[in-house]
């Protein structure tokens, strides 16, 4: 008997901190009815909840390093069992190491699936600190904003939900940003070659404005999701 597919479409957004993965994943969710799975968000929830995994991840995240593969994989697998992932998933911030990419292939292969598309979001290192240092999100709905590049239409009021409370991440500062970028180049950037070799890689210029990047991403996703 063939096992049921875990999820019909698996898309990966690959890019350094500040590339716009979260911003674009939320737009793709709305356009294509997919579900965004952000390992960063899942880890931050685990930290806030004070779970065993969260307690282990906390100091690593604060320092801008990568949380161990076993913790990240356990958290992701757990989330993948939720019924909403049956509509297809956009992985945002996962995989980030060769070990995670191989584990994902193994997980999908057990049900005859594979990664459908990997979109590599290219941004210049020099712009990354400004991107993360200006980032903030709505405390109610999670919509992302930027001090300079994406302000709410009405100052202090979330466009999506009308919320008036916003938050900033502790690791979005200039010092930690350097460590996060170094981790990206050392451990995550090699995945571009990994997925190119599998014939599923698409590249998008993520230096363009948010709407232009969204147009390029949608065109790319349309090719793999009906």
The closest alpha carbon to 185, from 124, 107, 133, belongs to 124
Task: Note whether 158 binds Zn ion by CB under 5 A.
Answer: yes
* Cβ-based nearer residue to ligand ADP, 9 or 216: 216
Task: Note whether 160 binds Zn ion by CB under 5 A.
Answer: yes
Name which of ligand ADP, Zn ion, none residue 40 binds, using a CB cut-off of 5 to 8 Å depending on partner kind: ligand ADP
* Whether residue 168 lies in the annotated active site: no
* Cβ-based nearer residue to ligand ADP, 117 or 188: 188
- Taking each helix axis from N to C terminus, what angle separates 39-49 and 69-80, rounded to the nearest 10 degrees? 100
**What is the nearest approach in angstroms of ligand ADP to the Cβ of residue 173?**
12
* Cβ-based nearer residue to ligand ADP, 70 or 112: 70
In angstroms, the CA 23 to CA 144 distance is 6
Task: Note whether 21 binds ligand ADP by CB under 6 A.
Answer: yes
Contact letters for ligand ADP, residues 52-91 (x by CB under 6 A)? --------xx--xxxx----x-------------------
Task: Note whether 36 binds ligand ADP by CB under 6 A.
Answer: no
Phi and psi angles of residue 171, each rounded to the nearest 5 degrees, phi first: -90, 0
Task: Note whether 108 binds ligand ADP by CB under 6 A.
Answer: no
Long-range contacts of 209-218 (CB under 8 A, 24+ apart): 209/149, 210/20, 210/23, 210/149, 210/150, 213/20, 213/24, 213/121, 214/24, 214/27, 217/24, 217/27, 217/28, 217/119, 218/28, 218/31
Which residues 140-159 are close enough to bind ligand ADP by CB under 6 A? Answer: 144-146, 149-150
Residues with catalytic function: 21, 96, 135, 169, 180
């Amino acid at each position: 008997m063939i096992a049921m597919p875990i999820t019909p479409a698996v898309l990966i957004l690959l890019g350094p901190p500040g590339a716009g993965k979260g911003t674009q994943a939320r737009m793709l969710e709305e356009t294509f009815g997919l579900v965004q799975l952000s390992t960063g968000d899942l880890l931050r929830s685990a930290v806030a909840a004070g779970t065993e995994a969260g307690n282990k991840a906390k100091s690593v995240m604060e320092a801008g390093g990568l949380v161990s593969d076993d913790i990240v994989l356990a958290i992701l697998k757990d989330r993948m069992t939720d019924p909403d992932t049956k509509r297809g998933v956009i992985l945002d911030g996962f995989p980030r190491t060769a070990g995670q990419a191989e584990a994902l292939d193994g997980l999908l292969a057990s049900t005859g699936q594979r990664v459908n598309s990997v979109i590599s979001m290219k941004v210049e290192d020099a712009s990354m600190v400004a991107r993360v240092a200006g980032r903030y999100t709505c405390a109610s709905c999670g919509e992302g904003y930027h001090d300079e590049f994406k302000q709410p239409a009405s100052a202090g009021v979330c466009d999506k939900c009308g919320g008036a409370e916003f938050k900033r991440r502790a690791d979005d500062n200039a010092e930690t940003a350097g460590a996060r970028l170094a981790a990206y180049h050392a451990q995550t950037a090699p995945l571009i070659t990994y997925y190119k070799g599998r014939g599923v890689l698409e590249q998008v210029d993520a230096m363009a404005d948010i709407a232009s990047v969204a147009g390029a991403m949608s065109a790319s996703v349309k090719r793999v999701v009906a």
